[in-house]
Chains A and B, each alone.
Chain A
Amino acid sequence: MAEASYTVASDSETIGEDKSSAFPEIAIGIDIGTSQCSVAVWNGSEVELLKNTRNQKIMRSYVTFKDDTPSGGVSSQLSQEHDLLSGATIFNMKRLIGRVDTDPVVHSSKNLPFLVQTLDIGVRPFIAALVNNMWRSTTPEEVLAIFLVELRVMAEAQLKRPIRNVVLTVPVSFSRFQLTRIERACAMAGLHVLRLMPEPTAVALLYGQQQQQSSHDNMGSGSEKIALIFNMGAGYCDVAVTATAGGVSQIKALAGSTIGGEDLLQNMMHYLLPESQTLFKTHGIKEIKSMALLRVATEDAIHRLSSQISVQIDLDLGDGLKINKVINRDEFEEVNRKVFVKCESLIIQCLQDAKVEVEDVNDVIVVGGCSYIPKVKNLVASMFNGKELYNGVNPLEAAVRGAAVEGAVASGINDPFGNLDLLTIQATPLAIGIRADGNNFVPVIPRNTTMPARRDLVFTTCHDNQTEALIIVYEGEEKKAEENHLLGYFKVVGIPEAPKGVPEINVCMDIDAANVLRVLVGVVMPGSRQPTIPIMEVRMPTVDDGHGWCVEALNRKCGNTQDLVTVQKKV
């Protein structure tokens, strides 16, 4: 089935594509991080990172709204970092995209130096930049799209060809709904998403390539290697266990959470100025400036703590509010103890899911901005009995390089030296299932299932003569249905009247290698080999904003009259 694309290509573009079919267009890799981003491309023999006009390979992810034209961190020249925080600059969009205003992550973003307003009812948060003393509203998708356009223009100028296909890295913990938002942002920027790759799996691909190259060099010994990849950036922390041999990287397990450098920063800001929440509540121009100053100073202090034991912070926030403090590394680690504990638990969970023992791990790879923090490095190393960490990758470039390699592989590029003779076999980071047995979440495809995946489960009616059944699809790990991410819902009608428990309602879920989820539902009556009504096929997610509300409305409307129960497996 042809991939549905959002963009409408103009005539000239179509011709361009035809021409390039002999030489397939190489998709570029983009790592669009919470605070930083980069672009890389396979240049025919190796991965090359693209630089902006200021000769930077790694650019800040932000967009400044000024008068009419917004400009992003790729092209704009900032005279002073404080300008970045004048209220007109929006950043951290990767933390906010696809989240509703009841989400704790959205609430913790409220002390960013721009406007994040919540109604706390489960709708989109209101986000706005201060332009000429006016709040100009925007959305995370729009900000990302502006940013992606700049990246695209930069890449097109350097590669001297139009760019359409991209491979983007995404956090493991992103829900499918969030992934659609990223796709939406790309579509707005005129880009077609070839693959959305969980960040650590991009690193795994790069690692697989390196292992294959080194095994070529010493003539074989293509033995299996198991690596644990720990990726902690500004917004998210991801862990993956990969088994690689002969250029094939099999992702054994994934784990991820919304913790990162931003949490460290906020904890430190709270530590330095405990009353900041109430002080900055009004979001006036003055407060934004103070918030920004505090933010910049704290970030700088954290960076310096990576190489120093202690730092002196002298800060004048105006209105007689001054901070003079010496912070040492132990304090920093104690303030953020919970974050580090969470990191540990993610690694433990990932190892358990992969059924891999600590001793079996050949290489431990720590990447992402937070990998420069000594505590993070020590924490991971100590979990592997002080094992030396893998040093074959650049912590800030690993993900984007992996994405570029995937871009080349998925574009069907061949390398005469076998450097692209690679494959990543992905796994599903979250379970997908439906609501059944009352309000329970019944997974059909469990988490860490190898992709492509297809599973089916049989359900049945829970009332006599029940002719309709509501299929509500969720994604997540929680027992209660509504605590998971809602993906969509539809109704099966025309079930023949029969006592409860008789009709077999078969729910099949299919995820292809491009991570497209299809839910199929068929009804079979016992004794018949054929479905009684046409099978329904729905591509998920179908939900738009206002997730939880729909289900509440459905519950009000239908009660439990259209519920399903699982059928005990016949042995």
Chain B
Amino acid sequence: MSVGVVSTCCLLSCSKPSSQVHGYLNFHNSMSRWRQNRTVIRCCNRREKPRAQHNYYELLGVSVESNAQEIKEAYRKLQKKYHPDITGQQGHQYSLLLNKAYKVLMSEDQRRKYDESIGQMRVRFGENNSPLGYSTWNGPSRPHALFVDENACIGCGECVHFASNTFTMDEALGSARVKVQYGDDDQNIEVSVQSCPVNCIHWVDTEELPVLEFLIQPQPKKGYGVYGGGWERPANVFSAAKAFSKQLKTKEAYGQSSGETTVEESPAQAQARAQASAEINMGGFFKLWKWVKETIGINDS
């Protein structure tokens, strides 16, 4: 019972600080900024499972791989929006959370522990600990890697037949996928590549691999009522990858010139963050304070 009340009030206090704050005229400008930029792809969404998973990373709007610099910038940016000096007392709760998240993520030790606790593995490109959907490496890293264009794949299973340690069938999608790079000896791999009737197995540069493997995964498609919905992936994954890399580069270049590498959040993300706040708030002792405050009618948040 109390959960619902709390999250609503947190939502109000976190996502709409302007409603009770006078003199902070800047807020509406920043709202419109959010809208302009909301189409930009954000890294942190990419491996998100359909279930709602809110955490410190989302609170700060950074990816799980982000480095200290990115976290710092995101933190400062959000503080500038929500710090009680700017939004008044409403910002207190939210600012507390930001401080907490910042403290944990800035300390290598605490961050590792936190990552473990939320079951989030930090993946760096080219490292060996990739979860489902990404190929792992057998042996040392090489300049080229195998990639299956799953759009073209007809699911014949020839490649799996010749190099079963390297390829695997995704039964749900009915297409083959690279499981382990160089999982079999070079000869078997070569045979399996040749055996593909539609030539959908490609040798690609190792640097391009993570982007390709990311883009080839079906992403949930936005639905409008009964229309749309479902899953989609780019029709031509190679040109999509090129566009993506280019976008990343311009973003970096932009980031360097203006000192901003984090992307403005969309209203939906802001709401997700507010929900995250509410959920984090619910942990442990805080719940107790909230409960009492509501019961005895102190309302200072």
Contact = CB atoms under 8 A, between A and B. Distances in A.
A452 B285 contact: no
A329 interface: no
Given A452-B84, A452-B92, A454-B96, A248 B288 contact: no
Contact of B25 (A409, A414, A524, A529): A414
A497 interface: no
A513 interface: yes
Most buried by A among B21, B24, B86, B91: B86
A245 B80 contact: no
Contact of A250 (B76, B260, B300): B76
A248 B85 contact: no
A284 interface: no
A215 B91 CA distance: 28
A166 B76 CA distance: 26
Given A414-B25, A512-B84, A535 B72 contact: no
A425 B79 contact: yes
Interface in A203-237: 215, 219-224
A404 B186 CA distance: 71
A506 interface: yes
Contacts of B24: 412, 414
Interface residues of A, number: 45
Most buried by A among B26, B84, B85: B85
A486 to B, nearest CB: 25
A413 interface: yes
A403 to B, nearest CB: 14
Count class of interface residues, chain B: 35 or more
A58 interface: no
A535 B285 CA distance: 12
A296 interface: no
Most buried by B among A452, A456, A506: A452
A247 B22 contact: no
Contacts of A452: 84, 92, 95-96, 99
A520 interface: yes
A535 B296 CA distance: 10
B102 interface: yes
A131 interface: no
Given A423-B85, A508-B285, A535-B288, A222 B76 contact: no
A450 B292 contact: no
A354 interface: no
B258 A222 contact: yes
A414 B259 contact: no
A221 B80 contact: no
A534 B83 contact: no
B291 interface: yes
Interface in B252-273: 257-260
Contact of A223 (B23, B83, B259, B285): B259
B292 A224 contact: no
Contacts of B21: 412
Contacts of A453: 96, 99
Contacts of B287: 529
Interface string A237-269: 000000001111010000000000000000000
Contact of B23 (A413, A520, A522): A413
Contacts of A410: 85
B125 interface: no
A250 B85 CA distance: 13
A1 interface: yes
B26 A248 contact: no
A117 interface: no
B9 to A, nearest CB: 15
Given A409-B85, A423-B86, A530-B288, A220 B92 contact: no
A531 interface: yes
Contacts of A530: 288, 291
A535 B292 contact: yes
Interface in A447-476: 450-454, 456
A522 B285 CA distance: 9
A1 B83 CA distance: 16
B298 interface: yes
B296 to A, nearest CB: 6
Given A246-B77, A534-B292, A450 B102 contact: yes
A272 B285 CA distance: 61
B168 to A, nearest CB: 39
B103 interface: yes
B26 A508 contact: no
Contacts of B92: 452, 512-513
Nearest to A422: B80
A412 B23 contact: yes
Contacts of A388: none
B136 to A, nearest CB: 32
A245 B95 contact: no
Contacts of B83: 423, 425, 513
B98 to A, nearest CB: 9
A21 interface: yes
Nearest to A536: B292
Contacts of A534: 292, 296
B85 A222 contact: no
B73 interface: yes
A270 B103 CA distance: 48
A551 B22 CA distance: 44
B289 interface: yes
B23 A514 contact: no
B76 A450 contact: no
B259 A221 contact: yes
Interface in A120-157: none
A224 B285 contact: no
B195 interface: no
B89 interface: yes
Interface string A521-547: 010100001110011010000000000
A248 B285 contact: no
A38 interface: no
B293 to A, nearest CB: 8
A536 B6 CA distance: 20
Contact of B22 (A215, A219, A412): A412
A411 interface: yes
Contacts of A512: 84, 89, 92
Contacts of B289: 508, 520, 522, 535
Nearest to A414: B25
B79 A24 contact: no
Contacts of B91: 513
A529 B289 CA distance: 11
Contacts of A451: 99
Interface in A387-442: 409-414, 421, 423-425
Contacts of B258: 220, 222
A222 B260 CA distance: 8
Contacts of A1: 89, 300
A524 B22 contact: no
Interface string B102-133: 11000000000000000000000000000000
B246 to A, nearest CB: 22
Contacts of B84: 452, 512-514
Contacts of A456: 285
Contacts of B25: 414
B169 to A, nearest CB: 43
A423 B79 contact: yes
B284 to A, nearest CB: 8
A221 B298 CA distance: 46
6 contacts: A224-B72, A246-B259, A414-B26, A423-B80, A423-B85, A522-B285
Given A245-B73, A508-B289, 9 more contacts: A24-B22, A215-B259, A220-B258, A411-B23, A452-B95, A520-B289, A529-B288, A530-B291, A535-B292
- Enumerate the 5 nearest inter-chain pairs by beta-carbon distance, A residue then B residue, closest first: A412-B23, A222-B259, A513-B84, A1-B300, A248-B76
